[in-house]
Amino acid sequence: MPPWGSPKRDLQFRWYAPPLAIILTTELTAVQLAQPHRFEELLINRKPKGGSAMRKDVWLAVIEVGFIIFLFYSNLLMGEFERSGMGQRRGLAWAIEDVFTAANLEIAMVAALVGYIVFEFLRKQF
């Protein structure tokens, strides 16, 4: 006997679910669960939530590089407000304008990519 009930009960709960609704959803809905003849097929053909492994690795790299860039810019901004920094006298708007430049973006990108490569190398080694 199938785990979802008797064959007589299955006949009572076969509701219609449009095929598009089944394609567009990644989770099992109440309507799909009420269709026992489709339940096993949905479990077998269901794709993992995270997508492909390559896509996950790319997103992980983007997040890590973005975090390194964030740390770089926050460090520059904090430097503008130290004792000798001009940020205390000229204000936050001036400090933000002084920090976010094309040259700083280039430095941040290169440093973030080098940092990411070094950390990935170290993760694989140890």
| pLDDT tens string 61-79 | 999 999 999 999 999 999 9
Own/partner contacts of 17-20, CB < 8 Å, gap of 24 or more, are none
Which amino acid is it at 42?
Answer: L
pLDDT level of residue 52 (50, 70, 90 thresholds): confident
**Average predicted confidence (pLDDT) for the chain:** 77
Query: What pLDDT score does 103 carry?
Result: 97
Instruction: Tally Cβ neighbours within 10 Å of residue 117.
Output: 12
38-51 average pLDDT score: 58
91-100 average pLDDT score: 94
Cβ–Cβ < 8 Å for 62, 101: no
Q: Which residues, other chains included, contact 22 with Cβ-Cβ below 8 Å and sequence gap of 6+?
A: 32, 38, 42
**Which of 76, 61, 34, 77 minimizes the C-alpha distance to 115?**
61
**5 has a pLDDT exceeding 60:** no
Q: How far is residue 71's CA from residue 2's CA, in Å, rounded to a whole number?
A: 55
